[in-house]
């Protein structure tokens, strides 16, 4: 499965467009991590726990998107975009979407 965020690939022709595929993941913060983050809010600096948490959930959103693309019979997802929104206090939704296509 080829995943990119450009619209056309230099050496490959698109045979078929299969429409939009998407994947999302909503994650809440961990209490332990939250306490650490509270301390970091005094000293400043990177919140490694949050960085990891968001990376994991973004990877999960991508996986779900790829699963959906596989289900419709695509072999590539082009023009992938990410978006983040906070659904409730303490929870974030990570969303990935792109166009499923069949490349030759």
**Gyration radius of the chain's alpha carbons:** 17
Rounded Cα distance, 101 and 104, in Å? 10
Asked if 43 touches another protein (CB under 8 A), the answer is yes
Query: Minimal distance in Å, beta carbon 84 to another protein?
Result: 4
Report the C-alpha gap between 51 and 49 in whole angstroms.
5
Total residues interacting with another protein, rule: CB under 8 A:
33
Residue 79 near residue 3, CB atoms below 8 Å: no
Q: Pick out residues in 64-93 that bind another protein (CB under 8 A).
A: 80-86, 89, 92
Q: Contact residues for another protein (CB under 8 A)?
A: 2-11, 37, 40-47, 50-51, 54-55, 58, 80-86, 89, 92
């Amino acid at each position: 499965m080829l995943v990119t965020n450009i619209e056309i690939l230099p050496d490959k022709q698109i045979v078929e467009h299969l429409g939009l595929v998407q994947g999302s993941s909503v994650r809440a913060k961990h209490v332990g991590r939250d306490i650490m983050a509270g301390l970091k809010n005094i000293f400043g600096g990177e919140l490694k726990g949050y960085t990891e948490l968001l990376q994991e959930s973004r990877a999960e959103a991508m996986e779900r998107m790829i699963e959906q693309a596989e289900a419709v019979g695509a072999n590539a997802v082009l023009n992938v975009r990410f978006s983040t929104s906070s659904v409730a206090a303490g929870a974030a939704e990570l969303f990935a979407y792109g166009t499923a296509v069949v490349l030759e």
